[in-house]
Amino acid sequence: MYPDRKFEPSGSALKESWEQFILTGNLDSFRGRTEISQSWTRCYRARVDPYSKGCTHILNNKKVEELKKRHSELLDIARPFMDKLYEFTAGSGLIVFLSDETGVILENIGDYEVRDSASKVNLVTGTNWQEEEVGTNGIGTALKLKVPIQISGKEHYCANLHHWTCSAAPIISDD
């Protein structure tokens, strides 16, 4: 619990806030985190479909390989950390993702069952997870805010992601 944080609404209060916002664009009853209300507003203004089935911006294999080649240094550095993180979390239903600076997933590693579930919303290599594409989510919101963030349940803008919890942190270069 963070003493400087606003009240975190219960699941039903957040659901009611989300439903009202999706219908009206009104956040008057919202009592959650400022980062979430601001993200929802950006998504609403970008006309993100809150009932979409998942990411629809999917790159073909050639484009994915081009991106991986362009980001080969990042991938070479990140893979051992991703492998180590997965070692610690194996069997816990987690996936580790690495995206590029635009939100396109370059690599993922995780348990088969959860990767299979993620594939149903196209949370897979070669898909773009910017807020403007899929609403409030770990990858897109962390990239937008340039800070680590966790998006849980109904904090996601799209209903199809309400059962996910996503944590993300941007990798920011000094050069």
SS (H, E, C) the chain: CCCCCCCCCCHHHHHHHHHHHHHHCCCCCCCCCHHHHHHHHHHHHCCCCCCCCCCCCECCHHHHHHHHHHCHHHHHHHHHHHHHHHHHHCCCCCEEEEECCCCEEEEEEECHHHHHHHHCCCCCCCEECCHHHHCCCHHHHHHHHCCCEEEEHHHCCCHHHCCCEEEECCCCCCC
Q: Per DSSP, what are the bridge partners of residue 165? A: 152
pLDDT band at residue 11 under the 50/70/90 scheme: low
CA 123 to CA 94: how far, in whole Å?
13
CA 11 to CA 30: how far, in whole Å?
12
Mean pLDDT score of the chain: 91
Query: Tens digit of pLDDT for each residue in 123-132?
Result: 999 999 999 9
CA 51 to CA 32: how far, in whole Å?
21
Mean pLDDT of 39-44: 97
Give the global pTM. 0.88
Number of CB atoms found within 10 A of residue 129's CB = 27
Query: Tens digit of pLDDT for each residue in 66-110?
Result: 999 999 999 999 999 999 999 998 889 899 999 999 999 999 999
Tell me, what's the pLDDT at 13? 87
In the block, tokens 């396109």 appear at 104
Mean pLDDT of 48-69: 93
